[in-house]
Amino acid sequence: MSKSDKDGFTTGNLHNDRRDKPEHGVLHKAIHTSVAYSYDDARDLAKVFQGKMPGYNYGRQQNPTVNALQSRITRMEGGLTSTAFATGMAAVGSTLFALLRAGDHVVCSAFLFGNTNSLMNTFRNFGIEVSFVDTTNADNVNAALQDNTRLVFTETIANPVTQVADLEGIGELCKQHKLIYVVDNTMTSPWLFQPRTVHASFVVNSLTKYIGGHGNALGGMLTDTGLFDWTVFPNILDLYKQGDPAMWGSTQVRKKGLRDFGATLGPEAAHHLAVGSETLPMRMDRASQNAQQLAEFCQSHHQVKRVFFPGLSSHPQHDRAKRLFKKPGAIMSIELADDVDCFDFLNKLRCVVTSSNLGDTRTLAIPVAHTIFYEMGDERRASMGIGDNLIRLSVGIEDIEDLLADFAQALA
């Protein structure tokens, strides 16, 4: 192990790009825009294509700027290898597309990010069975397992009601039944939680959110923890059963997912995301601290009916969040009192932005039932505990005094 491998999360992150001696001693990996790569010896190009020599052949599959970001996130997650995609959704979709077949069964959280939920339903049209269960208790996952179950998918903290999954219990179950365990770590980020510690096989991060952190670039990352035994997985094509078995799954995702589906992260976005990631711990700590104070303020306000935030002792999975995560995150939802009009409230906020994004430096608010969960319909929303007056907040890094004052005047 080299000296720098022992560096802390932030030190290692800041110096990661320099570790492979970049041109001119630059501190940021350059934005490489070339789509094609040349070789002096034509045989070398053939070797690269055949995977017998490391190198680049075409920008849809590899790019040096994107590779540097992959190495950075692999380090943050303590993983084996990572594959970047154009968006978080592309990372989820390409992974499932590459690893599942018709006749397979997936168990996933019933409280998934809306577009992931929608995507899971689309996979049903291709002959893949999907069971949606409450993942806050691993017993529900266990009860849903079938002979053809291949993969379990959950998020760390669900959106918008902030349920915290039984990450350890599901990890044990997946280990025991040799199932691929995918954890979407977007809400917590590798600073608050590393899914590798609960035996996840893959970690998904939407880089668009906390890792990029500034709402100025889209990106997604799939990190392979190296913990899954691919030799027992029936869907790996013979073609990719070469070399170290720990790499088989990621190789198939890169070929069948990234290469064939083509949702490639661009080098400019990779640069923005890499720069943003340098301050992840500071932003995340500050935003979590702000969220805690804002949640406590809202909980004691008579115009707020309920507050959903894992940092409150009233939260059903408060102890679990405390045990697993460095901090309870910065996503919270508030249900306004029945006689408060949620649109009037949002319009009164001065420094809080009404927006669908999350994980930005700025505090963002959105009326959930009328926007991101509108397509689901009344019934499904009701089953998920999403009322018409529910507002999701992605708390930012503003001065807390300003946030508290803004909420106080808008609720008055």
Ligand X SMILES: *Cc1c(COP(=O)(O)O)cnc(C)c1O
Which residue in 32, 150, 199, 209 binds ligand X (CB under 6 A)?
209
Using CA atoms, how far apart are residues 262 and 84, in angstroms rounded to an integer?
A: 11
| Contact window for ligand X (CB under 6 A) among 28-36, 50-58, 179-187, 286-294 | 179-187
Q: What's the min distance (Å) between Cβ of 193 and ligand X?
A: 13
Residue with tokens 């979407």: 184
In the complex with ligand X, the residue whose CB is nearer, 48 or 253, is 253
Q: What's the min distance (Å) between Cβ of 56 and ligand X?
A: 25
List the Cα angle 304/317/301 in 5-degree steps: 15
Q: What's the min distance (Å) between Cβ of 204 and ligand X?
A: 7
Q: Tell me if 135 contacts ligand X by CB under 6 A.
A: no
- Within 347-386, the residues that bind ligand X by CB under 6 A are 358
Q: Tell me if 329 contacts ligand X by CB under 6 A.
A: no
In the complex with ligand X, the residue whose CB is nearer, 174 or 187, is 187
In the complex with ligand X, the residue whose CB is nearer, 230 or 373, is 373
Query: Which residue number is nearest to ligand X in terms of Cβ?
Result: 88
In the complex with ligand X, the residue whose CB is nearer, 114 or 385, is 114
How does DSSP classify residue 221? E
Query: Is beta strand 353-354 parallel, antiparallel or unpaired with respect to 149-155?
Result: unpaired
Q: What's the min distance (Å) between Cβ of 358 and ligand X?
A: 6
Using CA atoms, how far apart are residues 167 and 175, in angstroms rounded to an integer?
A: 12
Q: Tell me if 330 contacts ligand X by CB under 6 A.
A: no
Q: Which positions from 60 to 99 touch ligand X by CB under 6 A, shown as an x/- string? A: ---------------------------xxx----------
Q: What's the min distance (Å) between Cβ of 361 and ligand X?
A: 16
DSSP 43-108: HHHHHHHTTSS----BTTT--HHHHHHHHHHHHHHT-SEEEEESSHHHHHHHHHHHH--TT-EEEE
Q: What's the min distance (Å) between Cβ of 220 and ligand X?
A: 5
Given a contact cutoff of 8 angstroms between Cβ atoms, the answer to whether 44 and 57 are in contact is no
Query: Is beta strand 390-394 parallel, antiparallel or unpaired with respect to 81-85?
Result: unpaired
Q: What's the min distance (Å) between Cβ of 203 and ligand X?
A: 12
Please count the helices (runs of H) and the strands (runs of E) in the chain: 16, 12
Q: What's the min distance (Å) between Cβ of 84 and ligand X?
A: 11
SS3 content of the chain, % helix, strand, coil (to 5): 45, 15, 40
In the complex with ligand X, the residue whose CB is nearer, 131 or 188, is 188
**What number of chain residues touch ligand X (CB under 6 A)?**
16
Amino acid, single-letter form, for residue 27: L
Q: What's the min distance (Å) between Cβ of 88 and ligand X?
A: 2
- Selection from 166, 185, 163, 183 nearest residue 309 by Cα: 163
Q: Tell me if 218 contacts ligand X by CB under 6 A.
A: yes
What residues contact 32, with CB distance under 8 A and at least 6 apart? 63, 64, 65, 267
Which residue in 74, 208, 363, 394 binds ligand X (CB under 6 A)?
208
Between the CA of residue 288 and those of 197, 210, 283, 292, 293, what are the distances in Å? Answer: 21, 11, 8, 6, 9
Which residue in 13, 65, 206, 333 binds ligand X (CB under 6 A)?
206
Task: Give strand ranges (E) for 186-313.
Answer: 202-206, 220-224, 304-308
- Selection from 354, 361, 206, 374 nearest residue 283 by Cα: 361
Q: Tell me if 264 contacts ligand X by CB under 6 A.
A: no
Q: Tell me if 117 contacts ligand X by CB under 6 A.
A: no
Which residue in 93, 195, 215, 220 binds ligand X (CB under 6 A)?
220
Using CA atoms, how far apart are residues 290 and 55, in angstroms rounded to an integer?
A: 45
In the complex with ligand X, the residue whose CB is nearer, 29 or 209, is 209
Q: Tell me if 273 contacts ligand X by CB under 6 A.
A: no
Handedness of CA 43, 49, 54, 59 (dihedral sign): positive
Which residues lie near ligand X (CB under 6 A)? 87-89, 113, 116, 155, 159, 184, 186-187, 206, 208-209, 218, 220, 358
